[in-house]
Amino acid sequence: MAARIVPAKRDPIRPAPANPIVISIDGDPVAGIEGQTIAGVVLASGRLAWRRTSVDGRPRGLFCGIGVCFDCIVTVNGERDVRACQRRAGDGDVVSSQHDELPEAAR
Amino acid sequence: MTAATPARGPGPVPTPAGAAAGARSVLVVGAGPAGLAAARAARERGASVVLLDASDATGGQYWRHLPDSRPSANERVLHHGWSTYRSLHEELERDPGCETVLGAQVWAIERADAPGTAAPVAVHVLVGPPDGSRRVGRTFRPDALVLAIGAHDRTLPFPGWDLPGVFTAGAAQAFAKGERVALGERVVVAGAGPFLLPVAASVAATGAKVLGVYEAGRVKGLVRGWLPKPWQLIGAAKKGGELAGYVGTHLRHRIPYVTGRAVIAAHGTDRVEAVTIASVDADWAPIPGTERRVETDSVCVSHGFTPRLELPIAAGCDLTADRFVRVDEGQQTSVPGVYAAGEITGIGGVDAALAEGEIAGHVASGGSARDTDLAEAIGARRTFTGFAARIEAAHGIRRGWTGWLEDDTIVCRCEEVPYGRLRETREATCGSGLRSMKLTTRAGLGICQGRVCGRTVEELLGGAASDPAASAPAASAPAASGPAASVTTDRRPIASPLRIGELAAGPDLTRSSTTSNVQKGHP
């Protein structure tokens, strides 16, 4: 019941063997394939949401998939607000999810 | 802070090594079908071309594909016109007169308003990994600019559309084609428009089960538009062939294609578990008593497209009444030297984009729309742009959709603004002034810069949706002629979010255009 990468053996495009990478997501090591976006790696690991909204604390993950909506933003190697659907995952990347509380005055 | 680089700051478009010295410089923004065709046509006329794309590959959303690090034997089965793409890409790649800059995010366009200014605009770009903090700034002042930046999905809000597992249809396709990732196992595809068909085909090609394609348009409208024999109706054998291919895919995978239905709610606590699908009338208003619940783990919904207008608006281009970029027969906008091609001039599909791109590139590099070598492209444009009107007639957003909103339905995803707050604000202020209502509600003011909800907020806060007499599709917002009315959400002077440090390190936008003009020039 989750997103998954198409198994190479069943893929009609007949992919060549892929280069494995490992990134860390909130401290957990997660395996991916070189060339995947961070969103691709995270989704294929079974995670559907990786951000909490500021007002209602609701879970969010991928929505538009093409860099328009900014729902999927994460912190990558200390750099905030990176669109996970646009940034390619690099071996060893340290990814953390974001939950930004509103300043008190805005509540 | 980024160290200064020779490429930053004022200066002409660096002439790619292979272009003749003194050649006309053409900057093409967007390397999808229209931009690739424009770049090739400009090179055929000897122009010095720089082709930019924000992504790290050419092809655009239409030919979104796996990265070079993931080669495969038969990727073409996922695409239409793959050989057209490969030949465009390879031709430009080996051409030393075309410099392709990938990872290039245009964040501002400065108009050259001063009389006698030669370069029509200055285009400010950051080059590097998406949202990286160490991107390198470049500024281009080309003789001609071709904007081929395309469109993105427009998804109307419905209760639960903010749940994880609800995606735009474009996301499903991008991840199927660009990553070989299936976003779910039991997938509902819904919304409006012929684009839903290739999306369902892409999802099916990941091995996921497509439970159905639910098209809000009614059968009568579709027959009038392009079904059931689109190739006859639009007189375009190629487009018909493409659609026939999708229909064949649906038959093979036994995907139900149902019209006059809409996903009116998604259900679940922390992720989507089911949707409610209802029949809708010709105005897209849900018909009570027709609701049906369908268990699903992935919902892909798009109701149309929104052209990316912030760059043409920044360049000063006029828009049409239905809010696309207005162009003449040579694809030139109202701003001399600035051209537009592809979906920002109308949602016409890949063949229209290729033809428009070729015309734009040809004319931008000094040719004429009447040149005989453009005859084929002019004919193709005539054939395929009719498609845009038919899509709008059959699938255009109808105002009855607001009938599926609840007061607590999130409209602006970034700022988490519910419909009830928009409705109350509109009632309290008698619908005066989009700008002040946006500031009051915060709708459309989040990090996506109103790209997702902007037009929806305009319609809900007044505009087209408040005009009960209008029978035109709600997507046709109030006429904006002249450089787009400042009240629309399409206007974004900073075209893409950037970091304060990058802004501090980047070109000084306060510099006068006269100064820019002095600094323009070719060796």
B198 within some domain: yes
User: What pLDDT is stored for residue B384 in this prediction?
Assistant: 80
B172 within some domain: yes
User: What pLDDT is stored for residue B393 in this prediction?
Assistant: 80
Tell me how many domains chain A contains: 1
User: What pLDDT is stored for residue A80 in this prediction?
Assistant: 94
B246 within some domain: yes
Quick one: B471 exposed, middle or buried, by C-beta within 10 A (0-12, 13-18, 19+)?
A: exposed
User: What pLDDT is stored for residue B222 in this prediction?
Assistant: 55
| B191-243 pLDDT tens trace | 998 889 889 989 998 999 999 999 999 865 554 444 444 433 333 445 555 55
User: What pLDDT is stored for residue B472 in this prediction?
Assistant: 38
Is the distance from CB of B316 to CB of B324 less than 8 angstroms?
A: no
Residues B165 and B276 in one domain: yes
Judge whether residue A101 has pLDDT over 90: no
Residues B281 and B356 in one domain: no
A78 within some domain: yes
Q: What is the mean pLDDT of chain B?
A: 84
Residues B330 and B263 in one domain: no
B475: which residues sit within 8 A by CB, 6+ positions away?
Answer: B154, B304, B322, B392, B396, B397, B455, B464
Tell me whether A59 touches chain B (CB under 8 Å): yes
Residues B515 and B366 in one domain: yes
> What is the percent of chain B where pLDDT is above 70?
80
A48 within some domain: yes
| B36-61 pLDDT tens trace | 999 999 999 999 999 999 999 999 99
User: What pLDDT is stored for residue B243 in this prediction?
Assistant: 55
Quick one: A81 exposed, middle or buried, by C-beta within 10 A (0-12, 13-18, 19+)?
A: middle
A52 within some domain: yes
- The DSSP letter of residue B214 is E
Interchain CB contacts (distance < 8 Å): A and B = 170
Which has the higher per-residue pLDDT, B324 or A106? B324
User: What pLDDT is stored for residue B502 in this prediction?
Assistant: 77
B13 within some domain: no
Q: How confident is the model at residue B406 (pLDDT cuts 50, 70, 90)?
A: very high
Judge whether residue B471 has pLDDT over 90: no
Residues B443 and B352 in one domain: no
Which has the higher per-residue pLDDT, B283 or B384? B283
Q: How confident is the model at residue B91 (pLDDT cuts 50, 70, 90)?
A: very high
B143 within some domain: yes
Tell me whether A49 touches chain B (CB under 8 Å): yes
Alpha carbon distance B35, B33 (integer Å): 6
Question: Quick one: chain A helix, strand, coil %, rounded to 5?
Answer: 10, 35, 50
Q: How confident is the model at residue B6 (pLDDT cuts 50, 70, 90)?
A: very low
Judge whether residue B80 has pLDDT over 70: yes
Residues B173 and B55 in one domain: no
Q: Chain B neighbours among A 14-43 (CB < 8 Å)?
A: 14-16, 18-19, 33-37, 39-40, 43
Summarize the confidence of residues B60-83 as an average pLDDT.
94
Which of B508, B510, B503 lies closest to B126, judged by CA?
B503
User: What pLDDT is stored for residue B388 in this prediction?
Assistant: 74
Q: Which domain holds residue B385?
A: 25-151+306-391+499-519
Is the distance from CB of B259 to CB of B218 less than 8 angstroms?
A: yes
Tell me whether A12 touches chain B (CB under 8 Å): yes
Mean pLDDT is lowest, of B17-26, B114-123, B246-255, B261-270, for: B246-255
Q: Report the gap between the CA of B459 and the closest CA in chain A (Å).
A: 19
Q: Chain A neighbours among B 130-169 (CB < 8 Å)?
A: 130-133, 152-153, 162, 164-168
Tell me how many domains chain B contains: 3
Alpha carbon distance A28, A14 (integer Å): 30
The domain that holds B62 is classified in CATH as: 3.50.50.60
Residues B204 and B281 in one domain: yes
User: What pLDDT is stored for residue B25 in this prediction?
Assistant: 97
Judge whether residue B381 has pLDDT over 80: yes
Tell me whether A77 touches chain B (CB under 8 Å): no
Residues B514 and B456 in one domain: no
Alpha carbon distance B432, B443 (integer Å): 15
Residues B163 and B288 in one domain: yes
* ∠ CA B110-B114-B119, rounded to 5°: 60
- Chain B CA closest to residue A18: B70
User: What pLDDT is stored for residue B118 in this prediction?
Assistant: 77
A26 within some domain: no
B513 within some domain: yes
| B409-453 pLDDT tens trace | 999 999 999 999 999 988 887 766 777 888 888 898 899 999 999
Tell me whether A87 touches chain B (CB under 8 Å): yes
User: What pLDDT is stored for residue B522 in this prediction?
Assistant: 33
Summarize the confidence of residues A68-81 as an average pLDDT.
96
Alpha carbon distance B295, B267 (integer Å): 9
User: What pLDDT is stored for residue B197 in this prediction?
Assistant: 86
Q: Which domain holds residue A47?
A: 37-99
Summarize the confidence of residues B454-466 as an average pLDDT.
74
| B94-144 pLDDT tens trace | 999 999 999 999 999 999 765 556 789 999 999 999 999 889 999 999 999
User: What pLDDT is stored for residue B461 in this prediction?
Assistant: 83
B12 within some domain: no
Alpha carbon distance B445, B117 (integer Å): 35
Residues B76 and B88 in one domain: yes
Which of B87, B17, B39, B8 lies closest to B339, judged by CA?
B39
Residues B284 and B363 in one domain: no
Which of B9, B5, B50 lies closest to B28, judged by CA?
B50
Alpha carbon distance A43, A27 (integer Å): 16
A71 within some domain: yes
Are the beta carbons of A82 and B130 separated by less than 8 Å?
Answer: yes
Residues B135 and B181 in one domain: no
Are the beta carbons of B129 and A88 separated by less than 8 Å?
Answer: yes
Q: Nearest 5°: phi and psi at A37?
A: -75, 165
User: What pLDDT is stored for residue B88 in this prediction?
Assistant: 98
A10 within some domain: no
